[in-house]
Amino acid sequence: MYWSLYLRRHIVFVPTTGKLDSPVYREMEPVDVIPLSNTDGVRRALLSAITRGNPSAPAYTSGNFPPPVLLKYAGVKNWSAFERGASTWGIEQTDGIYQIVGYRRSTKGYWEPDPDQKIPFPSGTSVDAVIDRMIAILQEAAARHS
């Protein structure tokens, strides 16, 4: 299972991460948008997304892709405008084991997993502990970009 989240201008965006084919995921409605200062709201949004799991995502034909769902929530017109100043992470869960993965911009311009930002958790770690660590990472990232 996989869930994505974004931090942009001290706002946390937590979309539902739908599944197409393994390992292909798509961000879709509903999307929670919470100020990072609202720690309890961020915690609820992350727990809600994880609880939803990865529902089936709609498949689109080539050339028939709608705009990314996050654009309307951020009030921007295109993906490159959203990406400016944004940071992204994923929470992965495989066989009950969680891992947080931070992403960086590749030299080719797309997001790629950053091996220096992978945080594996021991087997048996609770989802609450993973969420607490994710919130701390978001707060650290926001402080660095202030």
Tens digit of each residue's pLDDT (9 = 90 or more) over 111-121: 999 999 999 99
Which domains are seen in the chain, by residue range?
2-144 (3.40.1590.10)
Contact between 67 and 27 under an 8 Å Cβ cutoff? The reply is no
Q: Is the pLDDT of residue 22 over 70?
A: no
Q: Which is nearest to 19 in space by CA: 2, 38, 39?
A: 2
Q: Is the pLDDT of residue 146 over 80?
A: no
Could you count the other beta carbons within 10 Å of the beta carbon of residue 49?
21
Model-level pTM? 0.94
Could you count the other beta carbons within 10 Å of the beta carbon of residue 33?
16
Contact between 141 and 42 under an 8 Å Cβ cutoff? The reply is no
